[in-house]
Homo-oligomer: A and B are copies of this chain.
Protein backbone atom coordinates (compact mmCIF):
# COMPACT_ATOMS: atom_id res chain seq x y z
CA UNK A 1 0.00 0.00 0.00
CA UNK A 2 2.17 2.76 -1.28
CA UNK A 3 1.56 6.33 -2.41
CA UNK A 4 0.65 5.05 -5.87
CA UNK A 5 -2.36 3.13 -4.58
CA UNK A 6 -3.27 6.12 -2.50
CA UNK A 7 -3.32 8.41 -5.53
CA UNK A 8 -5.31 5.85 -7.45
CA UNK A 9 -7.83 5.75 -4.63
CA UNK A 10 -8.22 9.50 -4.43
CA UNK A 11 -8.55 9.72 -8.21
CA UNK A 12 -11.19 6.97 -8.16
CA UNK A 13 -13.33 9.45 -6.22
CA UNK A 14 -12.78 12.23 -8.75
CA UNK A 15 -10.22 14.04 -10.87
CA UNK A 16 -7.55 16.02 -9.06
CA UNK A 17 -4.11 17.56 -9.36
CA UNK A 18 -1.15 16.48 -7.25
CA UNK A 19 -1.60 19.52 -5.10
CA UNK A 20 -5.26 18.75 -4.54
CA UNK A 21 -4.52 15.13 -3.67
CA UNK A 22 -2.24 16.33 -0.95
CA UNK A 23 -4.86 18.72 0.35
CA UNK A 24 -7.44 15.96 0.50
CA UNK A 25 -4.95 13.91 2.42
CA UNK A 26 -4.38 16.62 4.98
CA UNK A 27 -7.95 17.70 5.38
CA UNK A 28 -10.07 14.64 4.72
CA UNK A 29 -10.58 11.62 6.96
CA UNK A 30 -7.78 9.84 5.14
CA UNK A 31 -5.42 12.04 7.13
CA UNK A 32 -5.84 9.94 10.27
CA UNK A 33 -4.18 6.89 8.88
CA UNK A 34 -2.11 7.89 5.90
CA UNK A 35 0.13 10.74 4.90
CA UNK A 36 2.40 11.69 2.05
CA UNK A 37 4.37 14.73 0.93
CA UNK A 38 4.87 16.32 -2.48
CA UNK A 39 8.13 14.48 -2.84
CA UNK A 40 6.28 11.19 -3.02
CA UNK A 41 3.02 12.25 -4.67
CA UNK A 42 4.45 13.88 -7.80
CA UNK A 43 6.78 11.00 -8.69
CA UNK A 44 3.95 8.56 -7.99
CA UNK A 45 1.66 10.37 -10.42
CA UNK A 46 4.36 10.41 -13.07
CA UNK A 47 4.84 6.68 -12.72
CA UNK A 48 1.11 6.00 -12.82
CA UNK A 49 0.91 8.06 -15.96
CA UNK A 50 3.75 6.11 -17.58
CA UNK A 51 1.98 2.88 -16.71
CA UNK A 52 -1.24 4.10 -18.26
CA UNK A 53 -3.18 3.96 -15.01
CA UNK A 54 -3.93 7.67 -15.10
CA UNK A 55 -4.09 10.41 -17.73
CA UNK A 56 -3.80 14.13 -17.28
CA UNK A 57 -4.82 17.38 -18.88
CA UNK A 58 -2.66 20.42 -18.53
CA UNK A 59 -4.67 23.44 -17.49
CA UNK A 60 -2.83 26.71 -17.87
CA UNK A 61 -4.09 29.27 -15.38
CA UNK A 62 -3.72 33.02 -15.46
CA UNK A 63 -1.08 34.22 -13.10
CA UNK A 64 -0.61 30.71 -11.81
CA UNK A 65 1.60 27.82 -12.78
CA UNK A 66 -0.41 25.48 -14.98
CA UNK A 67 -1.97 22.62 -13.12
CA UNK A 68 -2.19 19.04 -14.25
CA UNK A 69 -5.53 17.48 -13.59
CA UNK A 70 -5.28 13.72 -13.37
CA UNK A 71 -8.00 11.21 -14.22
CA UNK A 72 -7.97 7.51 -13.47
CA UNK A 73 -8.24 5.18 -16.47
CA UNK A 74 -10.08 1.89 -16.72
CA UNK A 75 -6.77 0.09 -16.23
CA UNK A 76 -6.17 2.28 -13.21
CA UNK A 77 -9.48 1.26 -11.70
CA UNK A 78 -8.65 -2.38 -12.28
CA UNK A 79 -5.25 -1.93 -10.62
CA UNK A 80 -6.89 -0.21 -7.68
CA UNK A 81 -9.45 -2.98 -7.24
CA UNK A 82 -6.63 -5.47 -7.38
CA UNK A 83 -4.74 -3.60 -4.66
CA UNK A 84 -7.86 -3.67 -2.50
CA UNK A 85 -8.07 -7.43 -2.81
CA UNK A 86 -4.69 -7.97 -1.19
CA UNK A 87 -4.63 -8.94 2.48
CA UNK A 88 -4.06 -5.81 4.54
CA UNK A 89 -0.86 -5.82 6.59
CA UNK A 90 -0.67 -4.76 10.22
CA UNK A 91 -0.99 -1.09 11.10
CA UNK A 92 2.24 0.84 11.19
CA UNK A 93 2.45 3.50 13.83
CA UNK A 94 5.35 5.67 14.80
CA UNK A 95 4.83 8.27 17.45
CA UNK A 96 7.80 10.28 18.63
CA UNK A 97 5.74 11.92 21.34
CA UNK A 98 4.69 8.59 22.79
CA UNK A 99 8.24 7.37 22.51
CA UNK A 100 9.32 10.29 24.67
CA UNK A 101 6.55 9.81 27.19
CA UNK A 102 7.44 6.14 27.40
CA UNK A 103 10.87 7.23 28.54
CA UNK A 104 9.46 9.97 30.78
CA UNK A 105 11.92 9.10 33.54
CA UNK A 106 14.75 10.35 31.37
CA UNK A 107 13.16 13.77 30.87
CA UNK A 108 13.36 16.64 33.32
CA UNK A 109 9.92 17.27 34.89
CA UNK A 110 9.45 20.51 33.03
CA UNK A 111 10.30 19.06 29.66
CA UNK A 112 8.07 16.11 30.42
CA UNK A 113 5.15 18.43 31.08
CA UNK A 114 5.83 20.37 27.88
CA UNK A 115 5.85 17.26 25.72
CA UNK A 116 2.68 16.04 27.41
CA UNK A 117 0.71 19.24 27.08
CA UNK A 118 1.81 19.90 23.55
CA UNK A 119 0.84 16.43 22.48
CA UNK A 120 -2.53 16.73 24.17
CA UNK A 121 -3.22 20.12 22.65
CA UNK A 122 -2.52 18.72 19.19
CA UNK A 123 -5.34 16.24 19.73
CA UNK A 124 -7.62 19.01 20.93
CA UNK A 125 -6.95 20.97 17.74
CA UNK A 126 -7.63 17.98 15.55
CA UNK A 127 -10.86 17.18 17.39
CA UNK A 128 -12.04 20.76 17.15
CA UNK A 129 -11.33 20.77 13.44
CA UNK A 130 -13.05 17.44 12.88
CA UNK A 131 -16.18 18.47 14.74
CA UNK A 132 -16.86 21.31 12.33
CA UNK A 133 -17.06 19.22 9.19
CA UNK A 134 -20.32 17.73 8.06
CA UNK A 135 -20.01 14.35 6.44
CA UNK A 136 -23.63 13.25 6.48
CA UNK A 137 -23.69 13.49 2.69
CA UNK A 138 -20.48 11.54 2.20
CA UNK A 139 -20.03 7.92 1.27
CA UNK A 140 -20.15 5.42 4.14
CA UNK A 141 -16.44 4.60 3.99
CA UNK A 142 -15.43 8.17 4.47
CA UNK A 143 -17.99 8.72 7.20
CA UNK A 144 -16.79 5.61 8.98
CA UNK A 145 -13.17 6.73 8.85
CA UNK A 146 -14.07 10.18 10.08
CA UNK A 147 -16.17 8.96 12.97
CA UNK A 148 -13.72 6.31 14.01
CA UNK A 149 -10.96 8.88 13.92
CA UNK A 150 -12.96 11.23 16.04
CA UNK A 151 -13.81 8.53 18.60
CA UNK A 152 -10.17 7.57 18.69
CA UNK A 153 -8.79 11.05 19.20
CA UNK A 154 -11.39 11.79 21.84
CA UNK A 155 -10.44 8.72 23.78
CA UNK A 156 -6.77 9.69 23.69
CA UNK A 157 -7.52 13.26 24.77
CA UNK A 158 -9.85 12.08 27.53
CA UNK A 159 -7.29 9.61 28.77
CA UNK A 160 -4.56 12.20 28.83
CA UNK A 161 -6.77 14.75 30.60
CA UNK A 162 -7.63 12.25 33.28
CA UNK A 163 -4.23 10.65 33.76
CA UNK A 164 -1.69 13.40 33.98
CA UNK A 165 -0.72 12.05 37.40
CA UNK A 166 0.73 8.82 35.99
CA UNK A 167 3.58 10.67 34.33
CA UNK A 168 3.63 14.20 35.69
CA UNK A 169 4.05 13.17 39.32
CA UNK A 170 6.90 15.07 40.90
CA UNK A 171 6.34 18.03 38.64
CA UNK A 172 7.06 21.09 40.80
CA UNK A 173 4.28 23.11 39.19
CA UNK A 174 1.75 20.37 39.86
CA UNK A 175 2.86 20.36 43.49
CA UNK A 176 2.32 24.09 43.74
CA UNK A 177 -1.11 23.79 42.14
CA UNK A 178 -2.08 21.14 44.66
CA UNK A 179 -1.37 23.30 47.71
Q: A residues touching B (Cβ–Cβ < 8 Å)?
A: 1, 5-6, 9, 12, 29-30, 32-35, 80-81, 84-85, 88-107, 111, 115, 119, 122, 139-145, 147-148, 151-152, 154-156, 158-160, 163, 166-167, 169
- Chain B nearest CB: distance from A79 CB in Å? 12
B32 touches A93 (CB 8 A): yes
Contact of A151 among B34, B97, B103, B159 (CB under 8 A): B159
Contact of A141 among B1, B89, B102 (CB under 8 A): B102
A139-B105 CB under 8 A given contacts A99-B88, A163-B144: yes
B101 touches A84 (CB 8 A): no
